Amino acid sequence: MSTIQKPVNQKAWWLVLPVLLCVAFSAILPLMTVVNYSVQDIISPERRVFVGTEWFASVMRDTELHGALWRQLQFSLAVLAVEIPLGIALALSMPAQGWKASAVLVVVALSLLIPWNVVGTIWQIYGRADIGLLGHTLQALGFDYSYTGDPLHAWITVLVMDVWHWTPLVALLAYAGLRSIPDAYYQAARIDGASKLAVFRYIQLPKMRDVLMIAVLLRFMDSFMIYTEPFVLTGGGPGTATTFLSQYLTQKAVGQFDLGPAAAFSLIYFLIILLLCFVLYNWMQSLGAATKEPTHD
């Protein structure tokens, strides 16, 4: 959110009200329920005992949780490191107008529209040596590729699957950002004798800053919450190689059928994401603020 020169107007609250109502209904009420459960031991619908922070403590001490958290962080960082530059590069190479632009847009966006379990299924098949094009080809080329047996192969496959699935999100956002740069900037750059690299660095990248921030935060959040695709593809294996945080939570919650600890973990999970996003968000805002100073009139 930019902060230069905005007039104060409390009546703006009216404009925000519909949004608040929607989200309060979908979020606050349910969240209160979860908080409620997280501090109780629900032995049966009639018997509930207040246990305070007991669940939170036991969840935090869980070493398996630490493992899952570490794996999750590595995954999310890897995802960002690949998808953001790749998405930008893709946006830069997509045509700006004409029928080709529309065709490329539809093709690029396709992977975003596939239900996530189907994504998992596609890659599950695709990577198999017996019935999958990728698996079969890799085997034929001499690689002993097995995403079910080798942890590293599993990791890479999950990563490539995510890149395949979500890079278009970054690309579409970056593309929309690029299209909104008025021609005059490019014309001025030509007149100033700027190289293509300079155009990218001084015009395109700064103008894409806002959309890129959305892209980074979205991808980070979503990759941190990822569940369906890796679950369908590897089931979390081999062993725990691809068991990320969401799956860990579901395993614990469903396995033990205990609402209390599950609720507690839910909240902790949520808070972790919140904290990391808060840090990331503020860091990116400060980056943005460095290039904009409030005007003094």
Q: How far is the CB of 100 from other proteins (least distance, A)?
A: 10
Bridge partners for 42 per DSSP: 48
One-letter amino acid of 40: Q
CA distance 205 to 182: 14
Judged by CB under 8 A, which of 45, 97, 152, 286 binds other proteins? 97
Identify which range of 23-31, 39-47, 54-62, 72-80 contacts other proteins by CB under 8 A: 23-31
Instruction: Please list every residue from 246 through 265 that binds other proteins, using CB under 8 A.
Output: 246, 249-250, 253, 259
Identify which range of 52-60, 61-69, 151-159, 161-169 contacts other proteins by CB under 8 A: 161-169
Q: Is the CB of residue 189 less than 8 Å from the CB of residue 198?
A: yes
Identify which range of 49-57, 58-66, 86-94, 145-153 contacts other proteins by CB under 8 A: 86-94
Q: How far is the CB of 273 from other proteins (least distance, A)?
A: 5
Q: Is the CB of residue 142 less than 8 Å from the CB of residue 112?
A: no
CA distance 70 to 156: 16
Closer to other proteins by CB, 138 or 194: give it. 194
**Contact status: 85 vs other proteins (CB under 8 A):** no
Q: How far is the CB of 250 from other proteins (least distance, A)?
A: 7
CA distance 70 to 244: 9
**Contact status: 77 vs other proteins (CB under 8 A):** no
Instruction: Please list every residue from 218 through 247 that binds other proteins, using CB under 8 A.
Output: 218, 221, 225, 227-228, 246
CA distance 80 to 215: 9
Q: How far is the CB of 238 from other proteins (least distance, A)?
A: 20
Helix or strand holding residue 40 (H, E): strand 40-42
Spatial neighbors of 261 by CB under 8 A, at least 6 apart, are 55, 58, 59, 252, 253
Judged by CB under 8 A, which of 133, 144, 256, 279 binds other proteins? 133
Q: How far is the CB of 184 from other proteins (least distance, A)?
A: 4
Spatial neighbors of 173 by CB under 8 A, at least 6 apart, are 87, 211, 212, 214, 215
CA distance 72 to 252: 16
Closer to other proteins by CB, 81 or 118: give it. 118
Instruction: Please list every residue from 180 through 219 that binds other proteins, using CB under 8 A.
Output: 180-182, 184-185, 187-188, 190-196, 198, 202-203, 206-207, 210-211, 213-214, 217-218
Identify which range of 2-10, 43-51, 65-73, 150-158 contacts other proteins by CB under 8 A: 2-10
Query: Is cis: bond before 238, omega within 30 of 0?
Result: yes
**Contact status: 112 vs other proteins (CB under 8 A):** yes
CA distance 287 to 270: 26
CA-only gyration radius of the chain, Å:
23
Judged by CB under 8 A, which of 42, 51, 82, 89 binds other proteins? 89
Instruction: Please list every residue from 139 through 158 that binds other proteins, using CB under 8 A.
Output: none
Q: How far is the CB of 180 from other proteins (least distance, A)?
A: 5
Spatial neighbors of 203 by CB under 8 A, at least 6 apart, are 181, 185, 186, 189
Closer to other proteins by CB, 95 or 149: give it. 95
Closer to other proteins by CB, 66 or 179: give it. 179
Bridge partners for 48 per DSSP: 42
Furthest C-alpha separation in the chain: 77
